[in-house]
Amino acid sequence: MAKSFSEMEDSNRSGNPSIHEVSDPARRQVLRAGGAAGLGWLAALGLAGCASGGSGALLATVPNRATVKMGFDALPPSTADSVRVPLGYVAQTLAPWGEPAGIAGAPMPAWKPDASNSASEQALQMGMHHDGLNYYPLDGGGSTSRRGLLVINHEYTDDGLLHPGGLVPWTADKVKKAQAAHGIAVIEVERAAGAGSAPGAAGWQMVRPSKYARRITANTPFAIGGPAAGHPMMRTAADPAGRLALGTIGNCASGKTPWGTYLSGEENWANYFTAADTPTAHERRWGIRKANWYRWPEHDERFDTVRHPNEPNRFGWVVEVDPMDPQSTPVKRTALGRAAHEGAWVAVTQAGRAVVYSGEDARFEYIYKFVSRDTIRPARPGVSPARANADLLDHGTLYVARFDANGRGRWLPLVAGQGPLTPANGFADQGEVLIKARQASDLLGATKMDRPEWLAIDEATRWVYCTLTNNRDRGKPGFPDVDAANPRAENVMGHIIRWQEDGDFDGEGFAWNHLLLAGDPANADARTQGNIRGDAFGSPDTIAFDPRGLLWVGTDVSTSSMNQGPYARLGNNSLLCCNPATGEVRRFLTGPVGCEITGATWTPDGRTLFINIQHPGESPSERSSPEEPSRFSNWPDKLPGSRPRSATVAVWREDGGVIGA
């Protein structure tokens, strides 16, 4: 999630009312004050434990899953440069940055530990900084789950690690290599032969070459679908029709559709562009400025908004990829709205419509929902489910969330011509509403949230969960105050919110509460103590339900905060398991130094868990020194002088049982 970028961006200067303007002023003051008085108000609302929420609604409102047990002993916090799992489990590194992806008919360039691989070689290798991922079975799933595809996001690059010499000198070839290290990878994996009745006896391996293997980069052509396709604000000199964008960047979290495709969110895309000395109002609202972290505009002019003012409008979308068809053109789905998308997750209504939830990982930004106009179509002879639903996400209604102080909420439609979304206010048509989704949400009075990241949908209970990682500016002078949904000033620990729609997933009203407030009960400041029942953690990020209905949470504590201050006792980032029915939280996995734990996907039989270790060895500045690439970590190779590499980790039980059971 490129932490400093998300923590740094704060572009919402709208005057739309936040919850604190309609909530009880007495509550607001105690929360601003912090301390024991603040948590006393939380207790009065039923927030003293993991099991209750902002409306005072108790966890008993959620169908009971208390009989689902966690069959592992919790790990203690760790500061070791390794991946640790409970006794009886195995963790295997798979597909690290630089490993050949195995594309059929293409070369398979080997990883060079001195980072001297060329741009053309990198385009055939696993990209950098693995993030979201999903597993797609090729063997029908069921009880075997031995062969499938992994689709993996590569969010961003650390140029100090990626190139010999880092940024010095900065060249066009280095820009091309950085662009090749971004995007998405599709790889084929299988359980090694000979596992028999004990799956733990053999691990996973990449299948190379594979007819499915693919690398999508910052230079791969993307079709533009939905109402913004062909819009004047999407047209450029290279694409005067405004229907074919080049590349995807900032790919963060991921979702899997019921029709078998992969959804990836373009998150911190604004950091790749440079603007004039005085950015336009549109650019300012999206965080585009003169300064540029990646320096791509120096050698690729399309990232210079003075020369190409519409190019940024072609990023910030949810992109859809068909992993089963490596020849298919990926699509940017503009009907889902433009944002700093963390990712996208799909629920299905009883009538068969797709509902896509998403949030944008930036301070004081919003949570969205898209409801498809049409129902999901079945496959036909000669037509795959993906092709049958090739335009499903191009038609429907986009909404933005408002969380009210009474534990209720509303989905506000972002529809041109409705309410304030008129030409007089700068919204000539639906395409402009979607391209300027932030500005439209500002006018509608949506709730400014504390960095909404991953979402998870519990199909059985029909509750939707969202991690709010943190927001150090909440309640500071000049920034939005605390509110019922975001109840802690200077929220350095984060929390998890959840809601249940009225009637069905396409309902326009909902009830909400908090699953938990993250923190460490040993902290002196009550605002950072949280209310977790079990193992303490902060900065929740990745979130996903396993096949048994347990909720898994990966953390993303920044390297500048890790093992310091309120995080002093929490160790490296970790993966934890929470039973929403009991509130119990247990630490299952700890990562190496400086990493983020991100992505969580299971084989259909629940016997293998895949997660990603992103940016091991990250420096506090988030850019490594090329002279000391392994200063903080040399995971996973663990060889003298080796540089750290993001990688996927496969986890299974030695006895072949279900993960966590």
**Quick one: average pLDDT of 143-170?**
95
Closest listed residue to residue 283, CA positions, set 448, 446, 435: 435
Q: Looking at residue 11, what is its pLDDT? A: 65
CB neighbours of residue 326 within 10 Å: 17
Structure tokens at 181: 């290290």
Q: Over 70: is that where the pLDDT of 111 sits?
A: yes
Q: Looking at residue 622, what is its pLDDT? A: 87
Give the 3-state DSSP-derived string for 209-266, with helices as H, strands as E and coil as C: CECCCEEECCCCEEEEECCCCCCHHHCCCCCCCCCEEECCCCEEEEEECCCCCEEEEE
Q: How confident is the model at residue 15 (pLDDT cuts 50, 70, 90)?
A: low
For the stretch 224-282, pLDDT in tens is: 999 999 999 999 999 999 999 999 999 999 999 999 999 999 999 999 999 999 999 99
* Cα separation values, 227 from 230, 435, 568, 599, Å: 8, 10, 48, 30
For the chain, state the CA radius of gyration. Answer: 23
**Quick one: average pLDDT of 597-614?**
97
Q: Looking at residue 121, what is its pLDDT? A: 98
Q: Looking at residue 27, what is its pLDDT? A: 35
Q: Looking at residue 66, what is its pLDDT? A: 78
Q: Looking at residue 52, what is its pLDDT? A: 32
Kind of pairing, strands 331-333 and 221-225? parallel
Residue % of the chain over a pLDDT of 90: 85
263, 358 Cβ separation under 8 angstroms: no
Q: Looking at residue 47, what is its pLDDT? A: 35
Q: Looking at residue 317, what is its pLDDT? A: 98
Q: How confident is the model at residue 6 (pLDDT cuts 50, 70, 90)?
A: low
CA dihedral (424, 426, 432, 433) positive or negative: negative
Q: Over 90: is that where the pLDDT of 312 sits?
A: yes
* Distance (Å, whole) CA 371 – CA 358: 12
**Quick one: average pLDDT of 369-388?**
97
Q: Looking at residue 26, what is its pLDDT? A: 35
For the stretch 532-575, pLDDT in tens is: 999 999 999 999 999 999 999 999 999 999 999 999 999 999 99
465, 455 Cβ separation under 8 angstroms: yes
Structure tokens at 616: 């091991």
Closest listed residue to residue 580, CA positions, set 612, 553, 620, 611: 553
Least confident of 97-101, 320-324, 641-645: 641-645
Q: Over 80: is that where the pLDDT of 422 sits?
A: yes
For the stretch 31-74, pLDDT in tens is: 343 333 333 323 332 333 333 333 333 333 445 677 899 999 99
For the stretch 187-208, pLDDT in tens is: 999 998 644 344 445 699 999 9
Q: How confident is the model at residue 1 (pLDDT cuts 50, 70, 90)?
A: low
Phi, psi of 92 (to 5 degrees): -120, 130
Report helix, strand and coil shares of the chain as percent, to nearest 5: 15, 30, 55
Which has more pLDDT, 88 or 55? Answer: 88
pTM score of the predicted model: 0.92
* Distance (Å, whole) CA 102 – CA 188: 8
Q: Over 60: is that where the pLDDT of 448 sits?
A: yes
Least confident of 276-285, 308-317, 620-629: 620-629
**Quick one: average pLDDT of 628-638?**
95
Q: Looking at residue 192, what is its pLDDT? A: 83
